[in-house]
Amino acid sequence: MTLNQTVAVFGAYGHTGRFVVSELVRRGWRPIISGRDASKLNALGAAYPGLDVRPASVDDPDSLDRALAGAAAVINCAGPFASTTAPVIEAALRARIPYLDVAAELEANLDTFKHYAERARDAGIVIVPAMAFFGGLGDLLATAAMGDWAAADEICIAYGLSSWKPTPGTRAAGQVSRQRRDGRRLVFTNGQMAFRSDAAPIAEWKFPAPLGTQPVVAEFTMADTVTIARHLKTPEIRSYMTVAAVKDLMEPDASPPVAVEENGRSAQTFLVEVVARSGGNERRASASGQDIYAISAPLVVEALRRVVSGLVHGTGVLTAGEAFDARDFLESLRQEHLALEMP
């Protein structure tokens, strides 16, 4: 049977959407490019003659149905996801096709599990939220690090970003998330999410060479905490982010990423290290590469390939680590996209 390689991308002309469209085309998929602004879509379409351009709005279910018609799956890159996730998932459920997104808003990620786990499972549909740098990569690394361990005393995720020039979408998503939690922070402790109102502590993390020891903001909870907590047994998930990256992010006039390569990648580098500890033993896994927005494209496109080919464990709302063979998934990105260390 030949695979339907048509895939709808909602939010196709955003910074991340463009990386996703480019990666899809490179890997032989036929993206339907969709989003709310017809003129921005047409401008993107001009760079990809022959692609289907289908404007759609989250306020107009019929337009979403038209955008998804004939697609094997939909990838949602339009954030803040608080506004886009539910309407696009509803359209995917009506079309009976898988849904993947790159959401890094904790509240939106949690909502996807809360509202759609049962409905998607009943419908036999696969939904993979946060299938990107935040949410997907850390979960795959944690799952690979855990290996045959049934549980861990704690799982730590340290993000070593050289800098972080946020896109308008990232800044807006952060603002929406902060509002939704009344300016408080979220942490995962004693087996559950808890709010904190004090300032996040500063600590040090010893990254593998060449990064070495770096000052980090502790309790920097990202989407990986939501995805890891869904399926790996541990009472404590601790996250750390390099201070340099947090400073960039907090700049009131934070500038967007600047491309230094023809493919749009910025000079930003990343190293994500996950440590699982159990009874005095520890297991580490890490991945490094360039540009957290750019890497989200091969992550979500590889997930798409596996979902559409049936290389996925179950149906319903699944995290990357639950849905896929984590080691095999990461290995598939080793040559072109990631440098990896796994136990």
Ligand X SMILES: NC(=O)c1ccc[n+]([C@@H]2O[C@H](COP(=O)([O-])OP(=O)(O)OC[C@H]3O[C@@H](n4cnc5c(N)ncnc54)[C@H](OP(=O)(O)O)[C@@H]3O)[C@@H](O)[C@H]2O)c1
- Under rule CB under 6 A, residue 234 binds ligand X: no
Radius of gyration of the chain (CA): 19
- Under rule CB under 6 A, residue 34 binds ligand X: no
Residues in region 168-207 near ligand X by CB under 6 A: 168-170, 173
From the number of C-beta atoms within 10 Å of its C-beta (0-12, 13-18, 19+), residue 149 rates as middle
Kindly tell me which residue out of 167, 269, 290, 315 binds ligand X, with binding defined by CB under 6 A: 167
- Under rule CB under 6 A, residue 303 binds ligand X: no
Compute the least distance from the CB of residue 66 to ligand X, in Å. 15
Which CB, 220 or 283, lies closer to ligand X? 220
Compute the least distance from the CB of residue 107 to ligand X, in Å. 12
- Under rule CB under 6 A, residue 24 binds ligand X: no
Kindly tell me which residue out of 9, 22, 36, 288 binds ligand X, with binding defined by CB under 6 A: 36
Sign of CA dihedral 76, 82, 85, 90: negative
Q: What six digits make up the tokens of 333?
A: 């990105």
Which CB, 129 or 283, lies closer to ligand X? 129
Cis peptide before 80 (omega within 30 of 0): yes
Nearest to 243 by CA among 133, 161, 173, 334: 161
Kindly tell me which residue out of 31, 45, 55, 79 binds ligand X, with binding defined by CB under 6 A: 79
Which CB, 21 or 144, lies closer to ligand X? 21
Q: Report the C-alpha gap between 214 and 225 in whole angstroms.
A: 21
* Type of residue numbered 50: G
Size of the site for ligand X (CB under 6 A): 34
Q: Report the C-alpha gap between 135 and 103 in whole angstroms.
A: 8
Q: Report the C-alpha gap between 88 and 83 in whole angstroms.
A: 9
Residues in region 121-160 near ligand X by CB under 6 A: 130, 132-135
Kindly tell me which residue out of 214, 242, 296, 319 binds ligand X, with binding defined by CB under 6 A: 296
Nearest to 292 by CA among 275, 306, 271: 271
Q: Report the C-alpha gap between 91 and 5 in whole angstroms.
A: 19
- Under rule CB under 6 A, residue 41 binds ligand X: no
| Residue ranges binding ligand X (CB under 6 A) | 11, 13-17, 35-37, 40, 58, 77-81, 83-84, 102, 104, 130, 132-135, 167-170, 173, 223, 292-293, 296
